Amino acid sequence: MEPDTHSSKTALLVLGCPQVPVQTSIALYLISRLRAAAFTPIIAGNKAANTLLVVADPDRHYLGEVMDLDRAVAQITEKKRDFDRCFVFIHNDAGISYAATMAAISKARLFVLIYGEHQEDLAGQITFPCTKIAAKAVHNPLPLKKVIDEVAPWAA
Amino acid sequence: MGCVEALNYEILIRDASFKECREYIKSHFSESIDVEPGFKIFDVHTIGVPPIAVGLDGDFVIFPYTKPCHGTFLLRVQDAEEAARLRALKKAK
């Protein structure tokens, strides 16, 4: 299966539940850095997570395509589409399930962003191949931003 | 893309972890099949850490359904055709 043809390099950002505040901030930051590195970012989340981003960026300075998470899983599973990079936001057990699913169905290079109060426990449960980017960040996105900058997944 | 709301389901467990759902199926149902993430049950792509256990109990199919904000639900749906399809897949493995 070929990667998405809209651009030479694509990155799928799989959002988790938006109840932890850093997610929306980090997603916009990551989109910005990915765009600077010539990636086309695509957002996949549930309605609440997607709407938080869409409302925050009404003129679409950062956002491009925003899609429903179930639709993204269906398209990748049915081999209608795939991506070069995949970033999965994880702060709960469901996040691990989505990341494991992406590891199984997509050929994208997988990065997991682990944050929240239980980031150490969650990181320890991840045994599938991926690059872990983890920090104890709930309200303040800077600890997670710092680790992202160190890993520089847009350049890897 | 499937919609679980179209199914006449019963929730056996709610807001669980993927491990709890797997263990529940293995301990409560004598018949089960392991599937990979993305495997389609009814019109729903399964989400989870492989192997994902799916239980079979007569005409009932028991499978995990994950939502980002609500964890994993274990759903039970009566459908003889889908149960037979899964049994055939298990036999072919």
Calpha distance A41→A61 (Å, rounded): 12
B1 located within any domain: no
B59 located within any domain: yes
**Structural domain containing residue A138:** 10-151
Cβ-Cβ contacts under 8 Å, A94 against chain B: 47, 66-72
Q: What interface predicted TM-score (ipTM) does this complex get?
A: 0.93
How much of chain A exceeds pLDDT 70, in percent? 95
A88 located within any domain: yes
B13 located within any domain: yes
B79 located within any domain: yes
B2 located within any domain: no
User: Nearest-CA distance from A60 to chain B in Å?
Assistant: 25
In chain B, the number of structural domains is 1
**Structural domain containing residue B12:** 7-92
A156 located within any domain: no
In chain A, the number of structural domains is 1
**Closest CB to B49 among A19, A70, A100:** A100
Beta-carbon separation of B37 and A92 below 8 A: no
pLDDT along chain B (93 residues), means of 10: 77 94 96 96 94 96 94 96 95 83
Q: CB of A112 within 8 A of CB of A131?
A: yes
Calpha distance B42→A146 (Å, rounded): 43
Q: CB of B7 within 8 A of CB of B63?
A: no
What pLDDT is recorded for position B6? 81
Q: CB of B48 within 8 A of CB of B18?
A: yes
pLDDT tens digits for range A46-88: 999 999 999 999 999 999 999 999 999 999 999 999 999 999 9
